[in-house]
Structure 1
Amino acid sequence: MLNVDNELIAELRIVLTKQRYSPVVIGNYCAYARGFVEYLAQQNIEVTDVTEAQVAQYLQHAIAMFGQRHGRTPARDWHSIPRSGIHALLRLAQGQWPSAPKATCAADTLRFAICDGYETWLREERGLAAASIDALMWEGRNFLVWQFDRHGPDSLMTMTVSDIDRYMDTRSPHQTRRSVKDVAERLRSMLRYLHRTGRVAIDLSPHVIAPLLYAYEGVPSILTPDQVAAVLQASGEDKTPVGLRDHAILQLLATYGLRSGEICNLRIEDIDWRAESIRIRHTKTQACSFLPLMAPVGEAVLAYLQAGRPVTDAREIFVRTRAPYRKLGLLASMVRQRLAAAGVTPSGKNGSHIFRHARAVEMLRAAVPRKVIGDLLGHRSTESTAPYLKLATEDLRAIALEVPGREMPS
């Protein structure tokens, strides 16, 4: 077993090197992985059989050992370093980490079977995007766990509207009306599937009560042109690799009003430097748009590619600044940090979408036709662009006519 473990650590070192981790990080990860392997050997546990609970148990053991050696407790976030090394080892040994949960009772077996079929149905029959499937699957799993914990795995066929109401009551506190409506829609999807597959006697989905939302009832927060300029100026002064990357992303947000996912999925081959065009894959419609590559955007992206982007095989343009160098996930945190650095405080939400709203309003005020605005934003129809019209209410007020007063008889 010792030789096998040594080979596994050596293989981990090779994998981390290929992923371009720094030599210091590689050394730390391998050292912590070796300590974990030695602990497993003392407990007679195979690396391939390790569970999340056993990793948590080992980390507590490692903290205790740290205290014995150094006479003090480690820093609050110290455990994240050995955990990263251990997780890298387990991904190598098990192929997937965290590993897929294993059924420990009849309820687990039934829940896994339902969720496997539900995921296949969402992907192959409904053709939903991965993000939508993830959200629906989370709600479906949560509902089944809740139902089985209360009434057991045989309770689906006798499930009632009261059960549905009680579940919604548990999900509603501290949620906005929009969020509660989203929960209801996801729950309806699972209930329709359960009825479709004969696991419930009647279709309970019509009985899920959700708040009524009125069309265009909420006004999204936006940035003024001066605020957009301030954010771009502040980010442009940061010449670090992170600053070059963030400035290029902010230029894309401000110029084209792209969605977060459209920027994260932007690939090297999507920019045609000779033709000065950029291809955008719209995440919601799965359609592609070819837009002119504006000079500020091209200059910012080129500066990042030349001096900020780490060497990596990833084809996505924007990647993490630390190994493993894979594409970015979400942009919300970066946008909040850059807004704060520029001294800009939006009145409402402060995610990447506020640049999208600002771009739409700017075009509306420039009398750009709604169809053109919708094409740039990747909307399927002009109705999708309609909510942005309410953001230009100041313009409407400026041209509003006074209502003539009624002449009173003398």
Structure 2
Amino acid sequence: MVVRNYCAYARGFLDHLAQRNIPVADVTEAQVEQYLREAVALFQRRHGRLPGPRWHQIPCAGIHALLRLVQGRWPPATNAACAADALRFAICNEYEAWLLDERGLARPSIHALLWEARHFLAWHLERCGAEGLMDLSIDDTDRYMDLRALKLTRSSLKSVAERLRSLLRHLYRAGHIATDLSPHIIAPLLYAYEGVPSILERDQIAAVLESARADRTPAGLRDYAILQLLATYGLRSGEIRNLRIEDIDWRSETIRVRHSKTGACSFLPLMVPAGEAVLTYLRSGRPATAAREVFIRTRAPYRKLEKLYSLVRRRLCDAGIKPPGKCGPHIFRHARAVEMLRTSVPQKVIGDLLGHRSTASTAPYLKLATEDLRAIALDVPGAEGLA
């Protein structure tokens, strides 16, 4: 069905190009947008209503696949329209090479740093032009931070400050600015363990699992298996998304977990509920694909999942569970740690299961077991007199 839809929309787009004598190798983004606007108007004339908000995704996917096949890349690289754009592209290219070759950062970190670099340079060069970069001042960076702070939490703003410092160090090192401004970027102070993350109680986890188990669609089978792994092992999102078929040894009933932060591997016993959920998904829910990851998108292109946050949030909502804070997959990790803590599992064992390198990484979970901490609280000398 998906392949048929892709081909149908690609043929319609090719007919559109042929009527206008436009070679497919020369198609631009503006021409694709124009075609989609005409397709929406045609849909409205045929059906008497506008299509749904996500209707454009399938025609876009089919057309983009066609253009990637013909042009080798889509969307095409943006051409510099002025001197400021040319300078921004050049700086970002050399900054990316510096982050990769000299600092040796991982790709996700580089993408975050580059996004901030593009955003800052576009903002500043639009105001001052290419010739104004050398005169970058503390006032300019303060204005940018004030602009970014409007909709960000203190934690997010601290990350912005760290990314901006990195860019400013590179700009000074490469001779694009006259003064190293990185020491003047002030970030909000964050204190260790200052925030208490959300967790789920055992009855809430059971309700989420029961709600997902009732969904027997391919997406439901996949989501239930993911939730079982989250609830049983407290895995990180990346550890589940990168789980491969060969990581599960059905004969010895073990599962190999590649810890996304440390790069180490753990071999854990394959618990029956989690194993049965994964096996049911592999037999009845997983699409036929050459991808080796266990959990795959339900729609083409069939590849591993990019994130779990929206999946978990949707399943929590379906079960009527509304955590007070964040509602992503990490709340299952916190819940698993607290559950083990309440059953007197040593902190070192908890850390090993969660893939922590040191017990200090496990310490933040202690603040979640508030009732347990109250039970061992010491009396404050002189408290009777204060009462």
Report the TM-score range of the alignment, normalised by the length of the smaller protein.
Answer: over 0.9
User: What's the counterpart of residue 380 of structure 2?
Assistant: 403
Residue 257 of structure 2 aligns to a residue whose secondary structure is: strand
User: What's the counterpart of residue 130 of structure 1?
Assistant: 107
Cα offset, 1:130, TM superposition = 2.1
User: What's the counterpart of residue 177 of structure 1?
Assistant: 154
Q: Residue 256 in 1 paired to residue 230 in 2?
A: no
Cα offset, 1:399, TM superposition = 2.8
| CA RMSD of superposed structures (Å) | 2.0
Q: Residue 115 in 1 paired to residue 92 in 2?
A: yes
Residue 197 of structure 2 aligns to a residue whose secondary structure is: coil
User: What's the counterpart of residue 22 of structure 2?
Assistant: 45
User: What's the counterpart of residue 285 of structure 1?
Assistant: 262
Structure 2 residue identity aligned to 1:165: D
Structure 2 residue identity aligned to 1:142: H
Whole-angstrom distance in 1 between the partners of 2:381 and 2:163: 50
Cα offset, 1:67, TM superposition = 4.7
Q: Residue 72 in 1 paired to residue 72 in 2?
A: no
Cα offset, 1:32, TM superposition = 2.4
Whole-angstrom distance in 2 between the partners of 1:67 and 1:227: 44
Cα offset, 1:407, TM superposition = 8.2
Cα offset, 1:263, TM superposition = 0.4
Residue 74 of structure 1 aligns to a residue whose secondary structure is: coil
User: What's the counterpart of residue 10 of structure 1?
Assistant: none
Matches within 5 A, 1:212-223: 212-223=189-200
Q: Residue 200 in 1 paired to residue 166 in 2?
A: no
Cα offset, 1:131, TM superposition = 1.8
User: What's the counterpart of residue 280 of structure 2?
Assistant: 303
Could you tell me whether the CA contact under 8 Å between 1:63 and 1:73 is conserved in 2? Answer: no
Residues paired across the two proteins, number? 384
Stretches of structure 2 that go unaligned for 5 or more consecutive residues are none
Cα offset, 1:237, TM superposition = 2.9
Whole-angstrom distance in 2 between the partners of 1:315 and 1:339: 28
Q: Deviations over 1:84-129 (max 9, x none)?
A: 3211211211222212222222222221121112222222322222
Q: Deviations over 1:234-285 (max 9, x none)?
A: 2223332222111111111111111111100100111122222211111122
Of 246, 254, 262, the residue aligned with 2:223 is: 246
Matches within 5 A, 1:5-404: 22=1, 25-67=2-44, 70=46, 72-77=48-53, 78-404=55-381
Could you tell me whether the CA contact under 8 Å between 2:40 and 2:51 is conserved in 1? Answer: no
Whole-angstrom distance in 2 between the partners of 1:357 and 1:99: 42
Residue 54 of structure 1 aligns to a residue whose secondary structure is: helix
**Percent identity, aligned pairs only?**
69
Could you tell me whether the CA contact under 8 Å between 2:43 and 2:51 is conserved in 1? Answer: no
Cα offset, 1:233, TM superposition = 2.4
Whole-angstrom distance in 1 between the partners of 2:367 and 2:134: 47
TM-score (norm 1): 0.88
Cα offset, 1:165, TM superposition = 0.4
Change in CA separation of 1:405 and 1:307 when aligned onto 2, cut-off 3 Å: same
TM-score (norm 2): 0.93
Residue 157 of structure 1 aligns to a residue whose secondary structure is: helix
Whole-angstrom distance in 1 between the partners of 2:371 and 2:320: 24
Cα offset, 1:221, TM superposition = 0.4
Whole-angstrom distance in 2 between the partners of 1:380 and 1:199: 40
Deviates more, 1:287-296 or 1:220-229: 287-296
Whole-angstrom distance in 1 between the partners of 2:17 and 2:31: 9
Whole-angstrom distance in 2 between the partners of 1:366 and 1:341: 30
Whole-angstrom distance in 1 between the partners of 2:347 and 2:132: 51
Stretches of structure 1 that go unaligned for 5 or more consecutive residues are 1-21
Whole-angstrom distance in 2 between the partners of 1:318 and 1:89: 26
Cα offset, 1:65, TM superposition = 4.1
Could you tell me whether the CA contact under 8 Å between 2:44 and 2:51 is conserved in 1? Answer: no
Deviates more, 1:169-178 or 1:283-292: 283-292
Deviates more, 1:32-41 or 1:87-96: 32-41
Change in CA separation of 1:123 and 1:158 when aligned onto 2, cut-off 3 Å: same
Whole-angstrom distance in 1 between the partners of 2:308 and 2:99: 27
Whole-angstrom distance in 2 between the partners of 1:321 and 1:76: 20
Residue 280 of structure 1 aligns to a residue whose secondary structure is: strand
